[in-house]
Structure formats: C-alpha cells, structure tokens
Amino acid sequence: MTTTVIERKWHTTKEVAEMLGYGLSKTKMLIITGEIRSIKDGRNRRILPRYVDEYVSRRARQAEEGSA
C-alpha cells in the first residue's frame, strides 16, 4: 500500500503566526509592511512556505550581523 503525503502549498496568517511564535496582530503587521511576503487570495492573505523561510533567514542574518 502506498501512502500519499500532501504538502501544504501555502499557509494562513494565523498558521504563520503560530509557526513563528508571534501574535496574530504582529504577523499581520509584518505582512502589511512587506516584511513577510504574501499573496492576496480573494479577501484572504496566503503565505508561501518559502516566504516564511525568507523572513526567518533574513532575521537570522540581521541578528548575526548585529552581534558581529
């Protein structure tokens, strides 16, 4: 028997907030300001997994540069 795993193609703002350990308001503000890129899907915002990865990488790089 073969098991098929369906990977998420995008995340909701709430899911991203939970992933990052941020509140929903902070996450929405990061999206509004463009810190985290998103896609408008009807009335909702969707965030691609790579957009979350880009944000985390950028924040880590900024933290490393700031401590050097």
pLDDT in tens, the chain (68 residues): 888 888 878 999 999 999 999 999 999 999 999 999 999 999 999 999 999 999 999 999 999 998 65
Residue type, 26: K
* pLDDT value of residue 3: 86
CA dist 60 and 66 (Å) reads: 10
* pLDDT value of residue 8: 79
Alpha helices in the chain (DSSP H): 13-20, 24-32, 49-67
Angle at 60 between CA 66 and CA 23, to 5 degrees: 110
What values do phi and psi take at 42, rounded to 5?
A: 70, -125
Overall pTM surpassing 0.85 (yes/no): no
| Nearby residues of 37 by Cβ (< 8 Å), 6 or more positions away | 47, 48, 51, 54, 55
